[in-house]
């Protein structure tokens, strides 16, 4: 199994600053993006990304290629850190708190509409069970292959597909009423 990061990890572990910079350049924005979507909190997302890299620096000197790709291992670490934070949040959750989607203002600006669209989709994602949400995060947003995503979640490809399908069905149901408005205003054109 070819791992494009293996050489960088080996060198970074030996103290090569350029290799460490390359790893940060390649992976830091993706780790921040993943954590931000999982936690809906920019500051917490940065904390998670920083913690992932602290573990990278700790593991790099003794990293043995072969067991799992480095990128897969990083995603697993990041997801576990996000799960921990989500668990802590649930433990001290305010039952009255929730994602607030405001009523449309009479003269809604385009920016306001965009923020509302984002809030709807985030709320639907937040409502998914953790594992379904993680599966969608890895495949849809992080663009991992099905094999890498399954390895990250430590499940079979069939189990990954089941998580994805259940997650997508739940999202479709949650967003069914607003789908037309959401897509009508979305800038992104669906790929494929």
Partner 1 sequence: MERARFEHLLDAYGADVARWPAAERAAGAAFAERHAVDLGAPVDEARSLDAMLNIVREPVADTAALAARVLAAAPVVRDNFDKRALWALAACAVFGVVLGYGGGVLAPTTDADDTLFVMAFEAPFVAPGEDG
Cβ of 106: how many Cβ atoms within 10 Å?
A: 5
Half-sphere exposure of 178 (CA within 13 A, CB side): 17
Tokens 């904390």, residue located: 47
Q: In the set 4, 7, 57, 88, which binds partner 1 (CB under 8 A)?
A: 57
17-39 and 42-59 are packed helices; what angle lies between their axes, rounded to 10 degrees? 140
* Alpha helices (runs of H) in 61-109, residue ranges in sequence order: 70-91
For the window 98-137, what string marks contact with partner 1 as x by the rule CB under 8 A? -------------------xx--xx--x----------x-
Per rule CB under 8 A, is residue 172 in the interface with partner 1? yes
Query: Per rule CB under 8 A, is residue 191 in the interface with partner 1?
Result: yes
Measure Cα distances from 25 to 3, 22, 31, 73, 87 in Å. Answer: 17, 5, 11, 17, 30
59 forms part of the interface with partner 1 (CB under 8 A): no
* Contact residues: partner 1, CB under 8 A: 12-17, 20-21, 24-25, 28-30, 32-33, 36-37, 42, 46, 49-50, 53-54, 57, 60-61, 117-118, 121-122, 125, 136, 139-141, 143, 145-147, 157, 160-162, 164-165, 168-169, 171-172, 175, 179, 182-183, 186, 188-192
């Amino acid at each position: 199994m070819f791992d494009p990061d293996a050489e960088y990890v080996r060198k970074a572990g030996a103290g090569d600053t350029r290799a460490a910079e390359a790893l940060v350049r390649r992976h830091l924005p993706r780790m921040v993006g993943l954590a931000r979507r999982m936690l809906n909190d920019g500051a917490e997302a940065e904390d998670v990304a920083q913690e992932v890299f602290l573990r990278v620096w700790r593991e790099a000197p003794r990293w043995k290629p072969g067991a799992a790709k480095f990128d897969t291992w990083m995603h697993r670490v990041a997801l576990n850190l996000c799960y921990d934070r989500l668990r802590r949040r649930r433990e001290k959750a305010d039952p009255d708190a929730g994602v607030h989607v405001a009523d449309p203002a009479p003269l809604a600006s385009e920016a306001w509409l965009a923020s509302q669209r984002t809030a709807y989709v985030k709320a639907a994602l937040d409502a998914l069970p953790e594992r379904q949400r993680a599966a969608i995060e890895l495949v849809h947003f992080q663009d991992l292959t099905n094999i890498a995503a399954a390895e990250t979640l430590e499940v079979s490809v069939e189990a990954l597909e089941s998580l994805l399908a259940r997650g997508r069905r739940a999202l479709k149901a949650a967003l069914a009423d607003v789908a037309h408005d959401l897509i009508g205003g979305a800038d992104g054109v669906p790929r494929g």
